[in-house]
Chain A
Amino acid sequence: MSKPLVSVALAVFLLLGLGPILVMGARVEGADLADLFDERTLSLLGRTIMLGLGASAIATLLGLPIGYLLSRTNVFGREWLRPLCMVPLILPPLFLGITWTALFELRGALATICILGISTFPIVAFFSSTALDRIGAGPEEAARLAGGRRAVMRVQLPLILPAVLCGACMAFLFAINDFAVPDYVSSLGKKFNVYADEVFASYQLEESTGRAVVTSIPLVLLTMAFLIPALWMRRGGSMATVSGKFRLAPPMELGSWRLPISLLCWVVVGTLSLSPIGRMLYEAGGGTTELGWNVPGLQAAFGLALEKSRLDLANSLLCSAAAGLLTVPVALVLAHLCERARGGRGLELLLCLPMAVPAILYSIGEVGMWNHTWSRNIYDSNALVWMIYSGRFMIFPILLLTAAIAAQSPRLEEAGRMAGVGPARRLVSLVAPPLRGAMLTGWSMVFVLSMRELDSAILVPAANHTVIFRVFNQIHFGRDDFVAALSLLVVFFLLLPGILWSLLGRRKAEVMP
């Protein structure tokens, strides 16, 4: 372990990840803790847990079979379906909420749970399929000899169970922290309040930042309570993407079922992934207006979106790409530390904290931290935006790289050490190169999450000039062709890394976040 590298990485994490949390934590006073667990809070928490469990159940019911079929069977076009089924995760959940409520008369708690389930099913599908990919030909073939297809599945399912449960935990976390979907979807009929509303409401209370922090504690605890088992299960290598000499089992032949199952897959994945995009295309072309959908209308909408938001789009792309670039090397060092050093598990939990804290409080903490005369230039610049993105999303490449490093033999490093290669060089030249796929995936994760992130940077000046800021402001004034075109542009850039990889990459399965 290179001390200088580790020190720099920890310092970066302390500054970007923990800094805002510490600033906010320092504002809590004893009196703020008074009504932490009153009846109302508990009822909101109960409802939030219900939302999370419901969403993760739907995510699992959809994600596990889809992940299985796309990973282990010879479904037609599965190499295209795998990236395609990631689309709902990549789209901002509010886009999904708007689309599904426009397409169906879906409202209330059930609708919220369904939409968040759809939004998070790709996580379970991804975890399931990567876990299945790693079982390898040996155990599967032995099972087949022992008892055919049924035996294969009985071998596979226990092996991928930790990964599936880990995915379900992640789906739960995404669902309970979402504020926009429950708010938007239950606009009609009985209101479906969740705990994220309470956190947002506390944030509006101007007098007491301490109380806002305290309000968020139950949500943070809940998040951590689900993160710990998820991390524990992931330790089994459930997310690993790298292995040494390894033979992938050939896909299972579906025989006469191939066509119907393929059709089913295309219909389900196509509907879940392409409907929101289709709906936006329809709106961008003026489909909801009296004129009806038309190509000149579509062109005009895109023209206007580009003209008005070109700079915002460029800013968003730059900040998100830069956040990914800053994050990945730091994440590599920290992931290596988590995996190879003593106390790595504890450190991993600490590294999760920036993601578990409500975004809006994180944002207030950033202002407290950076609004000083000496840091004026940073505060006013884009640099702060991508520093926030980096701090908040660093945990994703860390988790990914930890898993990848866990799958790598420590002998590789020891061989380097025997040859006199120093710790920094070992990390950069021996550990990192085989993890290129995982690093690129980590970069795309940070990029995608940053592109769609609104709340954590919202109070920072430069965040005003990001494209997601403009989209959300425009959504307020009614969905029109301009907003739809702008949203489509955002979606295009969100999907771009995946599309490029699918077209040009060699190991397709590794890239999609």
Chain B
Amino acid sequence: MYPEGRELPMACLGHLLLKVTIGPLSLSCARFSMQAHMTPPLLLRPFTLLLVLLCALSAGCADDSDVVIYCALDQSDSEPIIREFEKRTGLKVRAEFDVEAHKTVGLVRRIREEQGTPRCDVFWNNEIAHTVSLAEDGLLAEYDSPSAKGIPETFRDSKRRWTGFAARARVFIVNTDKADPAEIKGMWDLVDPKWKGDCGIARPLTGTTLTHMTALFVRLGEEKTREYLQKIKDGEVNLTSGNATLMRLVSEGAFSWGWTDTDDYNRARLKGAKVAMVFPDAGPDGIGTLFIPNTIAVLKNAPHPEAARQLLDYLLSEEVEAKLASFDGAQIPLHESLRSKPHALPIEKMKPMEVDYTAIGAQIDDRFQELRELFLD
């Protein structure tokens, strides 16, 4: 049926594919198959195909990038920025993103696992505690980027192993159909019996909520924080799987208000949900709003150190911070020069919480243990 020559191998491959993948379907295609004596030995059929597939897949995917970035910020926000860098410099960037279900920890875990043979050049974390923890464990290289000049010292490592930029803040999201934002002032309202069963917080075992609770330990001390956490546990506070879930539940009116991040609040606002934002503890005696900046660092023994520094300089630039502020996540710029520029959120009204981020990073593992025993009973 097939002429001798070049069509035969393709026919053979097609036959094999049918035979192995959709075997019974090939019965109906029998007229396209070759006679038995023309087929290769039976034993070889599936394995030959596998071998071909193996080679094709492996060869097609080998890494040929100029710089590798592990990025925990949402892919939809960070990817366009990374692609823009590629366009400008001609460098090929391999970007690996974290899956939200793992709340940053996936990439941190991977960096630790890979430390014997580092694959990552630049780590762009969407929070700070785990970056500090990586720095303390000697996995980050020192680099004082010229682009970081305008960022306040609070958000920079004294040894220049990491730099904070584009922050989120921990705020209350309030469903305006269900509650009056003016009635909610600060963190202790969450455990006020008045709001029993009608407010919420993400389970403080991951992400920014974990960092937030660790920050409370640093700022308020152990006794007060433990009292607060116990009240959260004992009161009927809704514990969601993450901040975005909480935002969604408040938007839908499942309960009235809860802690979330500014980026989640802004997304709800842009979708037209009837929600308002409250900066907690903004009064003269209040501890203020916790800022959780993105952090960026070059890895020690990075395979491509030169390109890594180039990428880091770009990501820390005012231009990128302004861009991140303009996205749906409405990140809060940390460059002094950008603070006065118009922003989607009334950031000028915020009172930043004063806290030692290095201490947060140092404590987070121990606090996590404690929180786990409290909230995973």
Q: A residues engaging B (CB < 8 A)? A: 40, 43-44, 180, 183-184, 187-191, 193, 197-198, 201, 203-207, 290, 318-319, 321-322, 325-326, 328-329, 364, 367-368, 371-373, 376-383, 386, 424-425, 428-429, 436-437, 439-440, 443, 454, 458-459, 461-462, 464, 469-470, 472-480, 497, 500-501, 504-507
Does B34 reach chain A (CB closer than 8 Å)? Answer: no
The answer to whether B238 touches A189, judged by C-beta atoms less than 8 angstroms apart, is: yes
Nearest 7 A/B pairs, CB to CB: A476-B100, A381-B61, A380-B63, A187-B240, A367-B113, A383-B58, A183-B241
The answer to whether B99 touches A187, judged by C-beta atoms less than 8 angstroms apart, is: no
The answer to whether B114 touches A206, judged by C-beta atoms less than 8 angstroms apart, is: no
Question: How many angstroms from the CA of A507 to the CA of B372 in the assembled complex?
Answer: 51
Which B residue's beta carbon lies closest to that of A290?
B272
Question: How many angstroms from the CA of A473 to the CA of B76 in the assembled complex?
Answer: 9
Closest chain-A Cβ to B369's Cβ sits at a distance in Å of: 7
Question: How many angstroms from the CA of A443 to the CA of B46 in the assembled complex?
Answer: 13
B interface: dominant SS: helix
The answer to whether A458 touches B61, judged by C-beta atoms less than 8 angstroms apart, is: no
Closest chain-B Cβ to A323's Cβ sits at a distance in Å of: 11
Q: Pick the contact of B21 from A197, A207, A443, A479 — CB < 8 Å? A: A443
Q: Write out the residue numbers on chain B whose beta carbons fall within 8 Å of the beta carbon of A381.
A: 57-58, 60-63
Closest chain-A Cβ to B226's Cβ sits at a distance in Å of: 17
The answer to whether A325 touches B102, judged by C-beta atoms less than 8 angstroms apart, is: no
Does B262 reach chain A (CB closer than 8 Å)? Answer: no
Question: How many angstroms from the CA of A462 to the CA of B57 in the assembled complex?
Answer: 11
Q: Total A-B residue pairs with C-beta atoms closer than 8 Å?
A: 191
The answer to whether A472 touches B62, judged by C-beta atoms less than 8 angstroms apart, is: no
Q: Write out the residue numbers on chain B whose beta carbons fall within 8 Å of the beta carbon of A383.
A: 54, 57-58, 61
- From B85-93, B161-169, B247-255, the one touching the partner chain is B247-255
Question: How many angstroms from the CA of A193 to the CA of B371 in the assembled complex?
Answer: 14
The answer to whether B133 touches A478, judged by C-beta atoms less than 8 angstroms apart, is: no
Question: How many angstroms from the CA of A454 to the CA of B376 in the assembled complex?
Answer: 23
Q: Write out the residue numbers on chain A whose beta carbons fall within 8 Å of the beta carbon of B96.
A: 461, 464
The answer to whether B21 touches A461, judged by C-beta atoms less than 8 angstroms apart, is: no
Question: How many angstroms from the CA of A321 to the CA of B117 in the assembled complex?
Answer: 30
The answer to whether A367 touches B114, judged by C-beta atoms less than 8 angstroms apart, is: yes
The answer to whether A505 touches B117, judged by C-beta atoms less than 8 angstroms apart, is: no
Q: Pick the contact of B99 from A203, A368, A473 — CB < 8 Å? A: A473
The answer to whether B119 touches A371, judged by C-beta atoms less than 8 angstroms apart, is: yes
Q: Write out the residue numbers on chain B whose beta carbons fall within 8 Å of the beta carbon of A191.
A: 203, 239, 375
The answer to whether A206 touches B113, judged by C-beta atoms less than 8 angstroms apart, is: no
Q: Write out the residue numbers on chain B whose beta carbons fall within 8 Å of the beta carbon of A328.
A: 20, 46
Question: How many angstroms from the CA of A190 to the CA of B375 in the assembled complex?
Answer: 11
The answer to whether A187 touches B238, judged by C-beta atoms less than 8 angstroms apart, is: yes
The answer to whether B113 touches A364, judged by C-beta atoms less than 8 angstroms apart, is: yes
Q: Write out the residue numbers on chain B whose beta carbons fall within 8 Å of the beta carbon of A187.
A: 238-241, 245-246, 249
The answer to whether B244 touches A476, judged by C-beta atoms less than 8 angstroms apart, is: yes
Q: Mark B184-227, 1 if CB is under 8 A from A, else 0.
A: 00000000000001001001011000000000000000000000
The answer to whether A429 touches B42, judged by C-beta atoms less than 8 angstroms apart, is: yes
Does B293 reach chain A (CB closer than 8 Å)? Answer: no
